[in-house]
Chain A
Amino acid sequence: MGWILKFVDSSIGKKFVMAVTGLSLILFLIIHLAGNLTLYISEEAFNSYVSTIDIIKPLIRVAEVILALFFIFHIYNGFRLWYENRKAKSSKYKVNVSSKNSTIYSRTMIISGSIVFIFLILHLSTMWYAFNFGEHGENHSYYKIVLDWFSNPVYSMFYVFAMVLLGFHLNHGFQSAFQTFGWTHKKYTPFIEKLGTLYAIVMAVAFASIPIYFLFFFGGK
């Protein structure tokens, strides 16, 4: 076991943990989004989707624990790398040329990541809590919970803002994970970069469209 601890403590090991957890979370987002999109079909479709998940609740709980571990390792390592890297660069140059030699997405991972982290806490304490532990009376509707939260303009606007930054984060994170694994290739890397950007745009737009839909179009009602 000693070697694993030493490996994840090395510079490349920390990057490896970021890449493995990051790519796993990227896959999770696709599943999450697929469920969210049932909101666009109808109130019944969304409610029956959530109720179906309820049937396999024990399995979902196991998945949630694994997911939580991925988040914890990703966030802990991210902050640790940021802190250590700041220490390694003790002073800055008078003239800052970072915009000429790197992308804004790659330089702001700690900012975009932190905002998404704040969003995550808010998201768990509102939607996730209400879905899992909220008081559900007769004829309750999960759809109504979503509608209620997104009717709050501050909540919805922060949601949209966080999703834009999530897009920034994913745009760099996707291709960055492949570089960390050492999976670079003249033929495939340009494709992976484009796929990462496309994925980031689709995720940001699709997730952000939901609060906009509810806030301005009241879920089409």
Chain B
Amino acid sequence: MSSENLDLTLMIWRQESSQSVGSFEEFKVSVSPDASILEMLDELNNRLEKEGKNPVAFESDCREGICGTCGLVINGHPHGKIPNIATCQLHMRNFEDGETLYIEPFRAKAFPVLKDLIVERDGMDKILQAGGYISISTGGVPDANEMLISKETSSLAMDAAECIGCGACVAACKNASAMLFVGAKVSQYALLPQGQPERYRRVQSMVAVMDEMGFGSCTNTYACEAECPKGISITNIARMNRDFIVAKFKSQDEDS
């Protein structure tokens, strides 16, 4: 265990509500290098509450990098500069003594700030409701290996399913595009046999809602892939594009 505490300057985004104008507030903290960034904020909030001040509002749930609830932009990087980890897995030992940290909420028009570092991400839930499922007959448990699938394909589907829906791709994108998220969700079903019956209907529904929610269009800068805490590949966006274009050209429906 490392011993010496780190003295850091935190510039944290404070904003009362989605209507109000936000600004940075400066805090000086002394934190153990073994603390996570969320634990550092917990300590800061304990201190603020003792002083009778308003604690910094931020979201977290599992704190082990799988739920996708936490999401802070630290010095410009969604989930911080260390690749392939969520905010909750970012430890203070990755920072230098005396460093200044700018901590901001995810920024996108589709993600309005609710308070301080908390943003509304229900646009992503609405996309999932539009097609992030498969319709199956309930009943007995099917026999194992009843549906044959190659290891390569199932691995690709699992890689896509790693997406925790945190919204870092939207936060990192200069266009606030949600295409890495939607691409991953479309792919995880499109690759598997169970996803086939609804494959082309799904991609059209999910993309339609994505467009309605005010997310931007992908311009292939690939910042999303670089910042994704789960390393979701941009080939998932390509798969979504391909399925969407095929769906539009093959559809027998004259209106869509």
Q: Does B122 touch A at the CB level, under 8 Å? A: no
Separation in Å of the A204 CB from the closest CB of chain B? 20
Interface size on B, residues (CB 8 A): 53
Q: Which residues of A contact B28 (CB under 8 A)?
A: none
Q: Which residues of A contact B214 (CB under 8 A)?
A: 88
Contact residues, B201-233 vs A (CB, 8 A): 207-208, 210-211, 214-223, 226-227
Partner of B107 from the list A91, A102, A172, A184 (CB cut-off 8 Å) is: A91
Interface centre among A89, A94, A96, A109 (most CB of B within 10 A): A89
A103 near B248 with CB under 8 A, answer no
Q: Which residues of B contact A42 (CB under 8 A)?
A: none
Q: Does A67 touch B at the CB level, under 8 Å? A: no
Partner of A179 from the list B175, B211, B234 (CB cut-off 8 Å) is: B234
Q: Which residues of A contact B73 (CB under 8 A)?
A: 93
A11 near B107 with CB under 8 A, answer no
Q: Which residues of B contact A181 (CB under 8 A)?
A: 238, 241-242, 245
Instruction: Give A146 to B209 CA distance when docked, in angstroms.
Output: 53
Instruction: Give A157 to B219 CA distance when docked, in angstroms.
Output: 30
Q: Does B239 touch A at the CB level, under 8 Å? A: yes
5 contacts between A and B (CB under 8 A): A3-B254, A100-B77, A101-B221, A179-B238, A180-B220
Beyond the given pairs A85-B177, A89-B176, A102-B221, 10 more chain A to chain B contacts, judged by CB atoms under 8 angstroms and listed by A's residue number, are A10-B244, A15-B217, A81-B217, A81-B219, A88-B177, A90-B109, A93-B107, A94-B76, A102-B222, A106-B220
Chain B contacts to A: CB under 8 angstroms: 11, 24, 73, 75-77, 81, 102, 104, 107-110, 172-177, 179, 207-208, 210-211, 214-223, 226-227, 234-235, 237-245, 248, 251, 253-256
Give the 9 A-B residue pairs with the shortest CB-CB distance, closest first: A182-B242, A88-B216, A95-B76, A85-B175, A101-B226, A97-B76, A102-B221, A85-B216, A106-B221
